[in-house]
């Protein structure tokens, strides 16, 4: 029977079926090593085939082709990657200017990862109600930067949305992100992801946590990834049609807070392809294999010097170019 993976606990998977029922399912050990060098060969958003044994246990026996997926480097170094989600229509990165601060390097690594795996992305700046005048100016500058690269941005107070008498879908332009889509919510711990999720779903499905006063960083509250249907938006349909554009459904994927991203199995010459601004200018470089680190006739290097490419973006590019160890993904 075909189903949709909507929950992952690390040892089992929650699968949703066409008739509206769900079941806990397992995968056999040999399934994990069948050419998939990942901590989780089955991910949230995957379409799978499930077989029920005589003893009532459910086993995932087949993984259907993915239209896309988004990954990060695994913390377990015996594996290459951890798949955050598959078959995603939009990846929404939750960012905070402060309380805690999200670095531009993290933002750019996330966006580059989305580009590499063909996942559309947007940025949601949260906790704007806590910002002072200088931080509001920084917010405006960052929104201008990323919108100039055609990434949609939004500025919200998830706490305010959660306490509003109207539903988030009535009171916020965020509804355009989620309507008819499978949307992945991601971000550092403490950026308000769980608060926003509760506001979207109109229920306290996700546990919220405090910010560490000692380190000004978030503390993990979401332990496992889970996928939720958004009531009132689209049809709660999980079957994939031959023409993916015919789907009308609204799901949201909550993931644990993460520290960093890095591109995997990518040649150094390809990294610039995943930075829209750098790739656009790189066509004018003297050498086709230019890595944009000061080579003669490098148009990118000149564009950074002229202020045509933001220095923060260029530094993020260089940091990925220089990735040689796990610590670089922080």
**Closest listed residue to residue 312, CA positions, set 175, 149, 184, 181:** 149
- Residue keyed to tokens 């930075």: 275
Domains 2-67 and 83-254 share a fold: no
User: 217 to each of 28, 160, 197, 212, 258, how far by Cα in Å?
Assistant: 38, 21, 19, 5, 12
Nearest in space to 100 (alpha carbons), one of 130, 140, 143, 142: 130
CATH 3.40.50.300 assigned to 83-254: yes
Residue 19 is predicted with a pLDDT of: 87
b/e per residue 210-243 (b: at least 16 CB within 10 A) = ebeeeeeebeebbeebbbbbbeebbeebbebeee
Residues 6+ positions from 111 with CB-CB distance below 8 Å: 93, 121, 146, 151, 274
Give the pLDDT confidence score for residue 129 in this predicted structure: 93
Q: What ranges do the domains of the chain cover?
A: 2-67, 83-254, 268-329
Q: How many Cβ atoms from other residues are within 10 Å of residue 299's Cβ?
A: 19
What is the residue-level pLDDT of the chain in tens, covering all 330 positions? Answer: 999 999 988 789 999 998 889 999 998 876 665 556 677 789 999 999 999 999 999 999 999 999 999 887 665 555 567 788 999 999 999 999 998 999 999 999 999 999 999 999 999 999 999 999 999 999 999 999 999 999 999 999 988 876 765 555 555 678 788 888 899 999 998 999 988 988 888 766 655 544 444 444 444 444 578 999 887 544 345 444 444 443 456 899 998 777 666 666 677 889 999 999 999 999 999 998 899 998 999 999 999 999 999 999 999 999 998 874 444 444
pLDDT attached to residue 194:
86
pLDDT score of 230: 84
Nearest Cα to Cα of residue 310 among 118, 101, 95, 143: 143
What pTM does this model have?
0.84
What is the fold of 268-329? Ribonucleotide Reductase Protein R1; domain 1 (1.10.40)
Domain 2-67 fold is: OB fold (Dihydrolipoamide Acetyltransferase, E2P) (2.40.50)
In this structure, the number of other CB atoms found within 10 A of the CB of residue 287 comes to 10
The single-letter DSSP state of residue 246 is: G
Look at residue 117 and give its three-state secondary structure.
coil
What pLDDT does residue 67 have?
92
């Amino acid at each position: 029977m075909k189903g949709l993976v909507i929950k992952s606990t690390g040892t089992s998977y929650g699968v949703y079926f066409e008739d509206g029922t769900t079941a806990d399912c397992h995968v056999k050990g040999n399934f994990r090593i069948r050419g998939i060098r990942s901590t989780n060969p089955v991910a949230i958003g995957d379409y799978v085939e499930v077989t029920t044994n005589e003893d009532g246990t459910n086993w995932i026996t087949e993984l259907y082709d993915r239209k896309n997926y988004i990954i990060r480097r695994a913390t377990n170094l015996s594996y290459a990657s951890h798949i955050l989600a598959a078959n995603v229509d939009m990846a929404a990165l939750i960012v905070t200017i402060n309380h805690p601060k999200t670095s531009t390097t993290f933002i750019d690594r996330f966006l580059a990862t989305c580009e590499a795996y063909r996942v559309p992305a947007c940025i949601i700046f949260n906790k704007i109600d806590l910002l002072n005048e200088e931080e509001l100016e920084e917010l405006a500058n960052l929104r201008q930067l990323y919108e100039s690269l055609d990434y949609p941005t939004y500025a919200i107070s998830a706490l305010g949305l959660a306490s509003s008498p109207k539903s988030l879908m009535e009171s916020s332009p965020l509804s355009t992100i989620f309507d008819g889509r499978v949307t992945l919510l991601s971000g550092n711990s403490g950026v308000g992801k769980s608060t926003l999720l509760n506001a979207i779903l109109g229920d306290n499905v996700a546990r919220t946590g405090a910010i560490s006063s000692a380190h000004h960083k978030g503390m993990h509250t979401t332990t496992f990834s889970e996928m939720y249907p958004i009531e009132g938006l689209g049809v709660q349909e999980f079957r994939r049609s031959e023409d993916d554009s015919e789907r009308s459904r609204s799901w949201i994927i909550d993931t644990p807070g993460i520290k960093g991203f890095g591109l995997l199995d990518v040649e150094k010459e390809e990294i610039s392809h995943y930075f829209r601004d750098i790739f656009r200018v790189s066509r004018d470089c003297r050498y086709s294999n230019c890595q944009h680190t000061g080579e003669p006739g490098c148009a990118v290097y000149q564009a950074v010097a002229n202020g045509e490419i933001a220095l923060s973006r260029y530094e993020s590019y260089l940091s990925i170019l220089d990735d040689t160890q796990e610590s670089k993904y922080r």
